[in-house]
Amino acid sequence: MQEFRLERWFARWEFAARHLLSSSDCETVTVAELLALAGQDPAALLDLRLGYTESQGDPELRAAIAARAGDLGADDVLVVVPEEGIFLAVTALVRPGDRVVVSAPCYQSLSEIAASRGAEVVRWPIAETERGFGVDLDRLAALVTPGTRLLVVNFPHNPTGAMITAAERDAILALCESRGVWLFSDEMYRGLERDAGGRLAPAAARSERAISLSGLSKAHGLPGLRLGWLALRDRGLLAELQRLKDYTTICAPGPSERLARAALAAEDALLARSRATIAANLALARAFVERHPGLLAWREPVAGPLAFPRLVAGGAEAFCDAAVREAGVMAVPSTVFEWGDAHLRLGLGRKGFAPALEALEDWLHRAVRGGSTAGRRGDGVP
């Protein structure tokens, strides 16, 4: 596999930079705060025995996950680490020579694992306009040829903040079913729609050709639990995923499963908290762009904790490298997504976004006065 560019960028800077401007998760909570939100006694966690757990996942946890979807049952759920879920599904489905269509830009493992297995990976690009990002279903239909094995989509979308409508989702499902294509639907940001009416049911609840990936790392702000799940109705494929999981994590950590049950009990409060943080930071981001029209062109995100504005003068990687070295502000350039060199990913889900944006703005002003990298680029910063 090729180097995972985004993860290597984070490995280099996430714990070294003073400010993070591009985190994809939402503000986290302590164990005590989580249990309080769920109305659970912390002492009960201390009685948990640290033994092996069921390989498919705790039955109570799987039932709670299935209840979120409405049309799924506990036996349709496999508990995984989110990244593991991608690996298991692609490994189970894709063989050398298969055609795999992936919405792009994307989290690299959504395309790279298929490529490493000898598949022909074809990008379905998210369309960019001055108003924001959207999908082109006619282009998708042209890309899904008779040799296509798998379609991989991610909505709400990382990194653009794009979202599809129910009609667009139904069209995607109909396309897969009519052409015998499996759909892998990355739904890690489900619950962070600006309009609650735009929230879609998991794809797996709507089609037997669909596999839904979700988890607690992003919308719920609990990445430290390392807990997610795959949902699907095809029992033969689920059995194959379980067989493969015997070679990866085998089973989930008991404390993570117990805390995951608490998270789902407190889900409404956690998601409301995340959406409120995103809304406040989104207003700050818009105002920043308005103050610096020569620096960034705004692209309004529709859902999720991310925005993907365009650098007017380009040079995103050089800009981000200078920002972290000179100002201690870590931002993510579009180059890590293999999507040109003109966009920045902004992470709107954390409380540290405001001081990170202030530090970036202070640096931009200093750069113009002192002639540093940003100043030499002529970004039009006052």
With bands split at pLDDT 50, 70 and 90, how would you rate the model's confidence at 377?
A: very low
* Per-residue CA distances from 16 to 10, 85, 121, 327, 366 (Å): 9, 29, 34, 12, 22
Which of 237, 265, 293 terminates a domain? The answer is: 265
Domain assignment present for 103: yes
Q: Tell me the helix, strand and coil percentages in the chain, rounded to 5.
A: 45, 15, 40
Which stretches of the chain are DSSP H helices?
5-13, 31-38, 42-46, 59-67, 82-93, 109-116, 137-143, 166-179, 235-245, 254-265, 267-291, 316-327, 353-370, 373-376
Residues 260 and 285 in one domain: no
DSSP character at residue 73: -
Instruction: Determine the pLDDT at residue 84.
Output: 98
Q: Is the pLDDT of residue 58 over 50?
A: yes
With bands split at pLDDT 50, 70 and 90, how would you rate the model's confidence at 100?
A: very high
Q: What is the rounded average pLDDT of the residues 35-46? A: 94
Q: What is the rounded average pLDDT of the residues 138-150? A: 96
Give the whole-angstrom CA distance, residue 74 versus residue 266. Answer: 19
Domain assignment present for 31: no
Span 240-293, pLDDT tens digits: 999 999 999 999 999 999 999 999 999 999 999 999 999 999 999 999 999 999
Residues 226 and 282 in one domain: no
Residues 175 and 206 in one domain: yes
Residues 105 and 213 in one domain: yes
- In the block, which residue shows the tokens 């990866």? 248
Residue 68, domain CATH: 3.40.640.10
Give the whole-angstrom CA distance, residue 100 versus residue 159. Answer: 20
Residue 121, φ and ψ in degrees, nearest 5: -100, 125
Q: Is the pLDDT of residue 367 over 80?
A: no
Q: Could you tell me if 102 and 114 are in contact, meaning their C-beta atoms sit under 8 angstroms apart?
A: yes
* Per-residue CA distances from 247 to 88, 91, 112, 184, 269 (Å): 10, 12, 20, 21, 36
What percent of the chain clears pLDDT 90, i.e. is strictly above it? 92
Residues 180 and 294 in one domain: no
Count of residues making up the chain: 382
Residues 154 and 283 in one domain: no
- Gyration radius of the chain's alpha carbons: 21
Residues 121 and 18 in one domain: no
What percent of the chain clears pLDDT 70, i.e. is strictly above it? 96
User: pTM of the entire structure?
Assistant: 0.94
Give one DSSP letter per residue of 267-280, joined into a string: HHHHHHHHHHHHHH
Domain assignment present for 170: yes
Which of 265, 297, 326 terminates a domain? The answer is: 265
Instruction: Tell me which residue range forms the domain holding 315.
Output: 5-24+268-376
Give the whole-angstrom CA distance, residue 267 versus residue 90. Answer: 29
Q: Give the three-class secondary structure for 360.
A: helix
Q: Could you tell me if 349 and 28 are in contact, meaning their C-beta atoms sit under 8 angstroms apart?
A: no
Instruction: Determine the pLDDT at residue 381.
Output: 38
Give the whole-angstrom CA distance, residue 221 versus residue 124. Answer: 29
Give the whole-angstrom CA distance, residue 27 versus residue 144. Answer: 38
Strand partners, 297: 310
The number of domains in the chain is 2
Residues 159 and 240 in one domain: yes
Which of 265, 284, 307 terminates a domain? The answer is: 265
Q: Is the pLDDT of residue 359 over 80?
A: yes
Tokens at residue 358, please? 């202030």
Mean pLDDT rounded to a whole number for the chain: 95
For residue 176, count CB atoms less than 10 angstroms from its CB and return exposed for 0-12, middle for 13-18, buried for 19 or more. buried
Residue 312, domain CATH: 3.90.1150.10
Residues 60 and 128 in one domain: yes
Better-predicted residue by pLDDT, 197 or 238: 238
Domain assignment present for 161: yes
Give the whole-angstrom CA distance, residue 21 versus residue 357. Answer: 7
Q: What is the rounded average pLDDT of the residues 85-111? A: 98
Domain assignment present for 381: no
Domain assignment present for 29: no
Residues 233 and 309 in one domain: no
Residues 73 and 190 in one domain: yes
Residues 82 and 103 in one domain: yes
Domain assignment present for 34: no
Q: What is the rounded average pLDDT of the residues 11-15? A: 95
DSSP character at residue 1: -
